[in-house]
Amino acid sequence: MEMMEEGVPPVINLSKLAEREETELEKKVAEIIKELGAERIMYCMQCGACASICPLAKTGFEWYNKKLIKALIVGLRDELLDDPTPWACVACNRCTEVCPRRVSPFEVMFAMRRLMAEEYAIGSLAIEGLRALYEYGHAVYMTGREARKKVGLPEKPPSTESDPKALEDLRKILKQTKLADLGLIPME
Amino acid sequence: MEELRIGVFICHCGLNIAGSVNVKALVESCKDVEDVVFVADHRYLCSKDGQEFVYNKVKEENLNRVVIAACSPKMHEHTFKSLLSDVLNENYVEIANIREQCSWVHTNATDKAFDLIRMAIARLRFAKPIEKRRFKPIQSVLVVGGGIAGITTSLDLAKMGFDVYLVEKEPTIGGNMAKLECIFPTMDCSMCVLSPLMSEVFNDPKIHVLTNTEVVGVEGHLGNFRVRVKRRARFVNENCTSCGLCSEVCPVEVPNEFDCNLSKRKAIYIPFPQAIPPYYIVDPFSCVGCKLCLSVCDPNAIDFTQKDEELEINVGAIVIATGFKLYDGERIKELGYGLKGVFTSLEFERLLSRLDLRGKRIAFVLCAGSRDEGHKRYCSGVCCMYSIKQALMAKERGAIPYVFYIDVRALGKNEDFYRRALREGIVFVRGRVAEVREGLKVKFENTLLNKVDEMEFDYVVLALPIVPNLPFDVPKDEFGFGLSIHPKLNPVESFSRGIFLAGCCSSPKDIYESILSAHTCAIEVSKLLKGEIELEAKFARIKENCIRCGICKEVCVFNAIEGNVKDGYRVVEEVCRGCGNCSAECPVNAIEVYPSDEEIFARVENCGGGVVGFLCDWCAYNASDVAGRLKMSYPKEFKAIRVPCMARVDVKHVLKALQYADGVLIMGCYVKDCHYSSNVHALRRIDELRKYLKKLGLEDRVEVVHLSSTEGEKFVKAVREFVDRIYSRRG
């Protein structure tokens, strides 16, 4: 029997509605999302609290948190892969604060990013960020060296940029991550 | 010791038993058992003829112990015990369940039937008479809390003839209901329905109203509680005619608590005109002692010499009706409580008729903390309805109300009320509000349209969770609500015997449900106090070899053990329910309960091998009967021993059983359902035992199964799997 922790029964499994062909290899997308970190996605009752304060929803992104959760529960997947919304999430975490069921919509957003990355459905801008992270230790490449010099600061900030050892360590770590398996960026 | 003369009566139950048990052979076998002096069989022992037969034979043969081998004790234990009550103590009659647990579930069941009878005989050898204790309870009741629940139950009890002490912390009775403008779904004026009841309470000679009074201590037990209450001085006596002159001259003004601090009152005041008792009161904390009031009081009702007093009240039962309060709005920061124009629903109720609502936009925010993992997980149950009510009232006064909801929970007939609100044009928006900002900007998503929006309102009303107001030492649930023995079947009796829960102190309730629970309390109390209380004699006794370790006191859920290291420990017989938890926990076997250790050992020793099952009387034993009734067969090796609770099963019983049998199944209720809440202790003990058994390689010989009393199928499955595993059978 599918009982969840704390004795809360699962929300009616709407994935039946989508009636996807399910093979051994292909799990229900909500299950994958759960494994990718959004464990409580099925607790969502679509109350809309997260949506009401979500900057994405306000700025007109199609699949903001509440809608994304619904879509995933219903079993949509391929339809969502090309959508830019998860990459636009600013990780403000307001949704996590207000969610009455502790779903952590933010985690759903990020689980969706992970899913998209696995499917290589990842924007070129994001790849650029990852490449920069590997190369320089900064996802956003540092500019303004001149300005730093002008105010009397060392040209390079006291981060990976001025510490080759730290950069080496960071690269080691990155090589241990999923990023290396996916081969999204060249890693020497 | 008297000579044992045991009689065994075996029932054919038509072919129900005789169909798979050779009764004639069984009779012959029984005759050879030691101490058995008489054996007989009968086609239907429970018939009139059969009962007469048993009764006459017991007298003729001078039997002093009787085994009835027939159907489940749940069917006819009472029949035979009361039949023989004038010749035999009830503990000298034992039922051997050879129908549900034998003939119905096995074929060729004669051997097992004989084992079951031998187990019954063995127990009788060690049975001690049970003495029933009766006492006359005190015919008065303490009702704590003078809200609608307390008022209702007081009036009921007074009409039934009991003396009632109605204790109220505030200066007036009436409670939260007195603060309401009107009540749903009838939209009656709340005070118009309540105040006649309040005067009735005040005028009833059987009800002693003690306002401005708090309970400070409870001692004693069911039938005889000694309650200490502290009555704060009122400084105004019964001569008061409520003319109000004192209040007019009083120079002090402070916020009025009755009005949620939204209006002002004087230092000498009456909370509201209909207050009961209808006397003014001096608030000693704000009074400046000018005594202007003394000079204008014509009937000389003001008396500054009054002192706080402590009284002791002697009652037979206690009804707790302390009601609810609202959750602290400050704790839900994002909803803007504290901003101008943001009110709790109770504050808004008080303000409704005072504010000019014409053209004002009002947002009613539902589930503002209820159904929220971060605040209160439960549904407060009444917010939907009262918010609709307030929205309707606001609409009548010209306002434009919006109701923000997740689900409208208008249960039962209340649906009509919801429809009325829809008809009258109140806007319902499905979407939980997550943020209210300055200027009363309310952010929401209309989830039915997938439309995120923000609107400005003049007032925001938060439907905060209802939280219990229970300053009373009774067992509570995780939210602080009083815990009733069974949420459905015994909703008002608390775990402390003789203490009952009325109204919102046990769960969120609307007025209707509060009144129902109050009536129920009155009935339960009168059931208990009318006539004599017969204590079930199955309470624990502490024997002389007690080493005063005090463990029993710690593990007792019912606080039935009192005492200390110095004076020794004692079981409060009126409170003890006989679960046996303390006995199992006692390190030196100094606590005797029913069934005694000797009785359990005797059964185990005579089980004739196989697997012994300890079945909780509340669930597993019934489940085995259900399995019997459904004729679901399971291995014959399984032999049941009935215990009052899983917690009665001691480590030593299990070890003893392992000497005589090949496995031990312990079957009891689900942890949450345990009728004594002692299950957890049993589980802990068995876990400990397993560690030792593991060293002996025997840990798989002991298993715990949780089931409910209807789960015959689960019972059979568990027994089958266990027995098959023990004997390494496949199938």
Whether B373 and chain A come into contact, CB under 8 Å, resolves to yes
Residue B556: CATH number of its domain: 3.30.70.20
Q: A interface mutation test: which of B327, B371, B373 has the most A CBs within 10 A? A: B373
Contact A52 B373 (CB under 8 A): no
Residues B181 and B144 in one domain: yes
Whether residue B334 is found in the same domain as residue B462:
yes
Task: Report yes or no on B385 lying in a domain.
Answer: yes
Q: Does B374 touch chain A (CB under 8 A)?
A: yes
Rounded to two decimals, the pTM is: 0.75
Interface predicted TM-score (ipTM) over 0.85: no
Residue A118 distance to chain B (closest CA, Å):
29
Q: Scanning the structure block, which residue is given the tokens 């009036």? A: B155
pLDDT below 70 — which residues of chain B?
1, 536, 729-731
Residue B187 is assigned to a structural domain of this protein: yes
Phi, psi of B445 (to 5 degrees): -120, 125
- Find, among A138, A143, A145, A120, the residue nearest to A174 by Cα: A138
Cis peptide before B73 (omega within 30 of 0): no
B371 at A interface, C-beta within 8 A: yes
- Say yes or no for a CB contact (<8 Å) between B431 and A52: yes
User: Would you state the pLDDT for residue B710?
Assistant: 85
CB B150 within 8 Å of CB B178: no
Q: Can you state the angle between helices B651-660 and B679-695, rounded to 10 degrees?
A: 50
Chain A touched by B437 (CB under 8 Å) = no
Domain contains B502: no
Last residue within a domain, chosen from B287, B321, B355: B321
For B68-99, the pLDDT digits (tens) are: 999 999 889 999 999 998 899 889 999 999 99
User: Looking at the structure, do residues B270 and B224 belong to the same domain, yes or no?
Assistant: yes
Give the CATH number, domain containing residue B729: 3.40.50
Q: Is residue B228 part of a domain?
A: yes
Q: Which domain holds residue B346?
A: 325-467
Among B467, B486, B514, the domain boundary falls at B467
A64: which chain B residues are within 8 Å (Cβ-Cβ)? 452
φ/ψ of residue B544, rounded to 5: -70, -25
Domain match, B582 and B650 both: no
CA dist., res. B58 & res. B44, Å (int):
17
pLDDT score recorded for residue A12: 53
Q: What per-residue confidence (pLDDT) applies to A6?
A: 56
Q: Mark whether B169 and B310 lie in a shared domain.
A: yes
Please check whether residue A48 touches B, CB under 8 A: yes
Residue B79 resides in a domain: yes
Question: The domain that contains B291 carries what CATH number?
Answer: 3.50.50
> For the residues A117-124, what does the mean pLDDT come to?
87
Q: Is the CB of A101 inside 8 Å of chain B's CB atoms? A: yes
Tokens read off for B519: 């009536």
Residue tagged 């609608």 (tokens) = B148
Residues B114 and B170 in one domain: no
Which domains are delineated in chain A?
A: 22-121 (1.10.1060), 123-188 (no CATH)
Q: What pLDDT is stored for residue A3 in this prediction?
A: 45
In a domain, B364, yes or no: yes
Examine the domain organization and report whether B410 and B434 are in the same domain: yes
CB B716 within 8 Å of CB B634: yes
Q: Are residues B42 and B104 both part of a single domain?
A: yes
Where residue B495 falls (left for φ over 0; alpha for ψ -120 to 50; beta otherwise) is: alpha
Residues A102 and A40: beta-carbon distance below 8 Å: yes
The total number of structural domains that make up chain B:
5
Distance in Å, alpha carbon of A157 to nearest chain B alpha carbon: 38
Strands B702-706 and B663-668: parallel
Domain end among B558, B573, B588: B588
Can you tell me the distance from the alpha carbon of A7 to that of B559, in angstroms, rounded to the nearest whole number? 29
B352 and B448 within one domain = yes
B contacts of A45 (beta carbons < 8 Å): 406
The verdict on B296 and B343 lying in the same domain is: no
Question: Residue B436's domain is classified under what CATH number?
Answer: 3.50.50.60
- Predicted local confidence at residue A2, as pLDDT: 45
Which of B452, B453, B464, B711 should be substituted to probe chain A, the one whose Cβ sees the most A Cβ atoms within 10 Å?
B452
Verify that B256 and B314 share a domain, yes or no: yes
Does residue B473 lie within any of the structural domains? no
The Cα of B260 is separated from the nearest Cα of chain A by a number of Å equal to 28
**Are B69 and B113 a contacting pair, CB within 8 Å?**
yes
The answer to whether position B298 is within a domain reads yes
pLDDT band at A1 (very low <50, low <70, confident <90, very high): very low
Give residue-wise pLDDT tens across range A135-185.
888 888 777 888 989 999 988 888 888 899 999 999 999 999 888 888 888
Instruction: Find which of A53, A70, A93 to mutate to test the B interface (most B CBs within 10 Å of its CB).
Output: A53
What pLDDT does B397 receive? 94
Residue B290 and residue B333 share a domain: no
Mean pLDDT of chain B: 92
Assess contact for A79 and A101: CB atoms under 8 A. Answer: no
- Which chain A residue shows the shortest CA-CA distance from B375? A100
pLDDT at A15 over 60: no
